Structure 1
Amino acid sequence: MARSLEETNVAASRNNRDTAIAEISRLLLEGWTLLGEVCPLANCNTPLVRNRNTGVTMCCQCRAQVVRSINHLESPETQQENGISAHVQSSSSSSHEEQVIGSEQEMSFSLLEANYIREFQRDSDRVSKQIGEKLLQGWTLLDMNCSSPQVSS
């Protein structure tokens, strides 16, 4: 009996997701950090990982690298609180979404917002470490969000 196109797509999606999870697990074992952010490409929603040594941030599902750069257009007095621009560079051209490079989005942050971002990154690193420890203990990372209203996804 022939499989429908939808069944084939679901199976391929599961296979891609399983491959991404295996790659995330491998990178965590190598010391990468699991971030509290997801891939900015449409319909990907895969958690990003960051190399602690190089600062490279990437998505294991679509093989895209998320690049953040400092906005140097501001005056020297405000360069400590510069905006962060982000775009995606694909390392593979096997699908249409991977060929799309996200447009550069610039945002200016106040000192308070910059402190919040640094605190968020510390919390994200702490949680990533805890998740990595659970994975090493044999726990499984699921493709589901917590349903508790007190937990933000």
Structure 2
Amino acid sequence: MAIQLANYKDQERIILLRQACENHGIRNRNCMIGKGVDRHLFVLYLFSRGFNISSPFLDYYIAQPWLLSTSQPPNVTKKVDEDTQPERAWIGACFGPVAKRGYGVCYRFLGDHSISAHITSFKSAGNTDADRFRKHLIDSLHQMTRLFEVEGVKY
């Protein structure tokens, strides 16, 4: 369900943003501990192929176009304090889109000071444009930042 945020006041937008962040965090943690339904279906698909078992449902699942593939690489070391030494922050990894008409987005939080995002798409796809995606992402992040700069809003 798409929400038209133009119809909401800033304080209502912040509530919606907090709810979205909380839900994302819960889903992200669940995926990390093997509770992501897509991971279970993918493993079942791999087993079906490995054991030569036909499954129309799993074949249908795996054939779906995943137009947006995102990932956040794990924090690989605690040897660098990215807040006190931002110049030594690891900017992350990168991967390509999993569909020719889609995007690959790899992102990483660099301490409390920055977000690194690597956005990829195929130039041959007429519907994708990694630079346009980047501009919209930056604009969205700036809009969220402005929400928290509004006077009287507690966060």
TM-score when normalising by structure 2: 0.28
More strand by share: 1
- Higher-Rg structure is 2
| The structure with more helix, counted as a fraction of residues | 2
